[in-house]
Chain A
């Protein structure tokens, strides 16, 4: 322990001097009262000490303590829990032998290491004990490394041991997230790296939605390995009816073909199709010979117009997201190309319009006349003084010509539509939009979807906000640059699903005819089997105020008639229900509640789709695992030589305990002891003086 001050330590001598001087002046020069020689010395000492101490404390002295802490090396074992591990010929080995070997490997690192277990698959998660079910429906590795780089970056991680087949089908390429990794990754190759005899559906491409009466195209990618000369049959069923069939002659040993066909959307609702390939002899698995696909058929095609002040990449990005659904007819034009009339558009997206150069008076009149919903996207060219008169739900008082970089932050009270967990997780990683610097006024009743987070600080300024004025819906994205969300979504997840979800949900919400009922239930109608199934519900009183005094019950029924009862939980002023995962099937639901004397019912249907990605590719990717190990100076092992890992890890000299020294500083002033000492010193002095007749 050492004592130091911000000032020179020699000043403490001055403190002693001040103490001596003080007591000298008081007692030596002052001879009014005779305390006696012995008492005088004591009094002088007491006064001198207390003054010196006070003076010393004025220097704001600190104590410094150095603490030594030793941290054992962390060994992080991550095990792939995905289905592909047990889809091969050696599935029995992975169910029976492997768990024993893996557990015994881990027990070798008892005392000297800090062993942490992880499971990877649908997501990476810390576990107390690994399960060996191998039931995850997808595989991602990148999120494991991202977690390593953030949570464990300051810890003494000796090594990461990753046991996987290297077949990834979710997240980004793990090599990207490895670049900042500071510790070696040892990899254990599971599964089978050889090309397996297999006929499989490699992918199905189709629109998610279409409209009644439309002929829609479907493309099925079929692949076959080591089956040259055989003929396979591909059939497509709708319900039990075969609606398409063709023969495929497999021309070579690494065969790939695309089968295209068209179907007519005859009826409204969710249409379920099943693609079935015939089973050929010697195939490693038949699981990937069949795959379902769903297409939602809506009543009629809706028209959406995108009208812009100037070309901007936002427009191409938004267009690409809306084009995924065949139910929209999109017209994209600049304000100069606008012909003067808008015919039956259910949504008009205005990019930086009205603008500083163009007040777009005609267009605005036409929108008002046709009662189309509007989505405003604001930017530096937006004319805010006109915009503020449009009753969009937000008005902005411009503060100079400055801009902010605003990150999206989800409003947890938002209920107008559901928003997936994946999207909520990705949201904080997305780049900022450029917004106007100023004061934002959100009108009463407007519904904020995302708030602006500026410079790390959450604000109550809206980034995306909706307004419903007597059935006329509008939305505002208060910044431009949303095109970057699409690119970064792809960078982090290898697809643009989150961006597409954001844009399509906004469009769907705004273009939907206003729901006037007092009891509303929001849900998706198609889930993957590893998705969390969520419902939101809203109950309004006669004056359209949200209430949630009554309970809301729901009964979900599977296609075989099995019923699952649930009750919604209350959330602020609405309702929420998360029922977790359900097995693949078609379900119907009925939600009901009572308010006053009235009973309200809502019903609907949704399907849970079987996830096929884990069965599509069964050739273990040892090359990826090897690259991961080479890049991080680890080592790759085939699962059969897993036991060698013990020696290699134990003999790696870089994996060792490290001692860290922590310096602890404490202000002396913070300690009450010094205060008590001063009180005691002065108290004694006072007492002695009183005792001797002084005052």
Chain B
């Protein structure tokens, strides 16, 4: 009898879970060409989603999707994420698709996993030839959403002894692309086992990630 009850509870849990999936918004990882490791940090978005759903009462789909830069599917996602260390190439079609998506109301977060800088800057110049990356000052609202970051981006993963910086592309007054440079947020979002970052560092990274999502969704 007890067994029966247990099965029933599990059934109800699975049942309600599977339908709550359809509730929320899905965020996506951008898959690009050029040879760079777009798939670096496989657990990071999943952890960020779980953090936001738990602490900000958000309704994000627990699973993120992967989407091609040139795919029209990109319009399904309010936030897309780029990570990696290496080369990135956008062709004309991809440039046009990404530009239209961002102008229409989409958002791109580029997280420098170290080494992405020279590649992504030239590619984003193709997407927005008329815009320059501007540094977001420490008093920018993105640093004081749910969590306070009076000194700007937290440093997650030491690499080149440079200060972390946040850059943005601003289209008609709206931040359409955030580029977090020399911090490696995605590294801190990953499972503990992957990089063995301390809990404090990991929480800082997740809090900053939550700030980014909150800003993007309510800006």
Q: Do A and B come from one complex?
A: yes
A: residues with CB less than 8 A from B are 173, 176, 308-313, 315-317, 319-320, 332, 334, 355, 357, 379-381, 401-403, 405, 431, 434, 481, 483-484, 486-491, 494, 496
A686 to B103, CA, bound (A): 86
A490 to B174, CA, bound (A): 16
CB neighbours of A434 from chain B (8 A): 22-23
Query: Are the C-beta atoms of B19 and A403 separated by less than 8 Å?
Result: yes
In this complex, what residue of B is CB-closest to A179? B72
A319 to B105, CA, bound (A): 11
A487 to B72, CA, bound (A): 11
Residues 146-183 of chain B, each 1 if its beta carbon lies under 8 Å from chain A, else 0: 00000000000000000000000000001000000000
B: residues with CB less than 8 A from A are 16, 19-20, 22-25, 52, 56-59, 72, 75-76, 78-79, 96, 100-101, 103-106, 174, 213-214, 216-219
Query: Are the C-beta atoms of A487 and B217 separated by less than 8 Å?
Result: no
Least CB distance from A249 to B in Å reads 22
Query: Are the C-beta atoms of A496 and B218 separated by less than 8 Å?
Result: no
Tell me which of B22, B75, B104, B174 has the highest count of chain A C-beta atoms within 10 A of its own C-beta: B104
In this complex, what residue of B is CB-closest to A358? B57
Query: Are the C-beta atoms of B20 and A401 separated by less than 8 Å?
Result: yes
Query: Are the C-beta atoms of B58 and A311 separated by less than 8 Å?
Result: yes
A491 to B19, CA, bound (A): 29
Query: Are the C-beta atoms of B22 and A316 separated by less than 8 Å?
Result: no
CB neighbours of A483 from chain B (8 A): 78, 105
CB neighbours of B214 from chain A (8 A): 311
Query: Are the C-beta atoms of B22 and A320 separated by less than 8 Å?
Result: no
Least CB distance from B127 to A in Å reads 15
Query: Are the C-beta atoms of A312 and B58 separated by less than 8 Å?
Result: yes
24 A–B contacts from the bound complex (CB under 8 Å): A176-B72, A308-B218, A310-B57, A311-B218, A316-B219, A319-B219, A320-B105, A380-B20, A380-B23, A403-B22, A431-B76, A434-B22, A434-B23, A483-B78, A484-B75, A484-B76, A486-B105, A487-B104, A487-B106, A489-B104, A490-B100, A490-B104, A491-B72, A491-B100
List the 3 closest A-B pairs by CB distance, nearest first.
A490-B104, A313-B78, A380-B23
CB neighbours of A308 from chain B (8 A): 218
In this complex, what residue of B is CB-closest to A357? B57
A489 to B19, CA, bound (A): 28
If A311-B213, A312-B25, A313-B78 touch, whether A486 touches B104 (CB-CB below 8 Å) is yes
Least CB distance from A201 to B in Å reads 19
A405 to B174, CA, bound (A): 29
Query: Are the C-beta atoms of A488 and B75 separated by less than 8 Å?
Result: yes
Q: Is the interface of B mostly helix, strand, loop or mixed?
A: helix
Least CB distance from A668 to B in Å reads 48
Tell me which of B24, B174, B213 has the highest count of chain A C-beta atoms within 10 A of its own C-beta: B24
Query: Are the C-beta atoms of A313 and B25 separated by less than 8 Å?
Result: yes
A628 to B114, CA, bound (A): 41
If A316-B217, A332-B218 touch, whether A310 touches B59 (CB-CB below 8 Å) is yes
Query: Are the C-beta atoms of A173 and B96 separated by less than 8 Å?
Result: yes
* Residue from the list B16, B72, B213, B218 in contact with A401, Cβ < 8 A: B16
If A315-B218, A316-B219, A481-B25 touch, whether A491 touches B57 (CB-CB below 8 Å) is no
Tell me which of B100, B103, B214, B218 has the highest count of chain A C-beta atoms within 10 A of its own C-beta: B218
Least CB distance from B146 to A in Å reads 8
Query: Are the C-beta atoms of B58 and A379 separated by less than 8 Å?
Result: no
Query: Are the C-beta atoms of A490 and B58 separated by less than 8 Å?
Result: no
CB neighbours of B59 from chain A (8 A): 310, 312, 379-381
CB neighbours of A486 from chain B (8 A): 104-105
In this complex, what residue of A is CB-closest to B76? A484
A320 to B106, CA, bound (A): 12
A109 to B100, CA, bound (A): 40
A334 to B144, CA, bound (A): 13
CB neighbours of B213 from chain A (8 A): 311
Least CB distance from B131 to A in Å reads 15
Least CB distance from A336 to B in Å reads 9
Query: Are the C-beta atoms of B217 and A315 separated by less than 8 Å?
Result: yes
Query: Are the C-beta atoms of B75 and A487 separated by less than 8 Å?
Result: yes
If A487-B75, A496-B105 touch, whether A309 touches B23 (CB-CB below 8 Å) is no
In this complex, what residue of B is CB-closest to A402? B19
